[in-house]
Chain A
Amino acid sequence: MAIIDLANPTRFLRLVDRVLPWLAAATLLAFAVGLAQAMNAPDDYQQGATVKIMFLHVPSAWLGMMGWSLMSVAALGTLVWRHPLADVAGKAAAPLGAAFTFICLVTGSLWGRPTWGTYWVWDARLTSMLVLLLLYLGVIALYWTADDPNRGSRAAAVLTLVGALNLPIIKFSVDWWNTLHQPASILRMGGSAIDPSILVPLLIMAVAFTLLFFTLHLAAMRNEILRRRLRTMQLMQAQSLAEAGA
């Protein structure tokens, strides 16, 4: 099957029905291994056991940003190529990205209190992540409140592309400004600054969260295709009732 064939929603649904159970099983397996590793990871020499919050905070931060990156590609697909599944992919990713960004902010806050002495500070990294959450909520509002779904989709795609400017700000905020948040310690020049005993569980949890994201995203895309079919059929039903009454 060529990639272009997946542009057909019916073929895409068939593929999702085949792939989803395997993806869900892989997600459960990855979480079982990741959580076991995370619980057995040693305490950090400075932060103690609170380092265990990192196994949730860092993957959810990555997925919050990855969700918006995925939506940006989908927005290009909607505005430039009018790909039939691009808009579906963007709309399905928005609530998931928002949820992971929310997890990132809450776990970061709960991690900050014992390590920094405060739940929140208006520094560049924290504020830009909060802006990302607000952008997600804005896109969700555009998708779900527009009278005309096509206009709502185009407006959401434009906001998504404008909001993509926030991604490099989040990534480099710790380098460009003085922040309470630590600089990059995993993806950086010279290799990771984290000991393998903590890095390995973190990477396994990152894989588990990523699998969870794609499992939920495929399922949400399937739901969105069904929702559009339902809307079409309801319009057909209303039209036939109007014709019968005329």
Chain B
Amino acid sequence: MNLGPHADFIIASYAVTAFVVAVMVAWVVLDYSTLRRMLGGLEQQGLTRRSRRQE
């Protein structure tokens, strides 16, 4: 594939997009695992949400 004389601009565009998408995916995944771990820690201490107690 020949990207012509402006290949740097095309490659930079795809690299920036891939980086931002990777940051978004990492943010969502790491945030989820952190929240799950913290919630699990509190539940292990015996804390339960009121709505959970009614279930």
CB distance A233 to B20 under 8 Å?
A: no
CB distance A103 to B20 under 8 Å?
A: yes
User: Nearest CB to that of B14 among chain A residues?
Assistant: A56
**Chain A CB within 10 Å, residue with most, of B10, B31, B38:** B10
8 Å CB contacts to A: which residues of B9-55?
A: 9-10, 12-14, 16-17, 20-21, 23-25, 27-29, 31-32, 35-36, 38-39, 42, 45, 47, 49, 51
Assign chain B's interface to a size class.
20 to 34
Which label, helix, strand, loop or mixed, suits the secondary structure of the A interface? helix
**Among candidates B7, B25, B38, B45, residue contacting A230 with C-beta atoms closer than 8 Å:** B38
CB distance A229 to B39 under 8 Å?
A: yes
Report the bound CA distance from A226 to B6 in whole Å.
46
Number of residue pairs spanning A and B whose beta carbons lie under 8 angstroms apart:
89
Task: Report the interface size for chain A: residues with CB under 8 A from the other chain.
Answer: 37
Chain A proximity of B28: nearest CB distance (Å): 4
Report the bound CA distance from A119 to B50 in whole Å.
55
CB distance A233 to B10 under 8 Å?
A: no
**Chain B residues within 8 Å of A223, by CB:** 28, 31-32, 35
- For the complex with contacts A48-B4, A49-B2, 6 further pairs of A-B residues with Cβ separation under 8 Å are A39-B1, A50-B4, A56-B17, A103-B20, A114-B5, A233-B42
Sample of 7 A–B contacts (CB below 8 Å): A39-B1, A50-B10, A107-B13, A114-B5, A223-B35, A227-B35, A233-B47
4 closest pairs, A vs B, by CB?
A: A114-B6, A226-B35, A49-B4, A107-B13
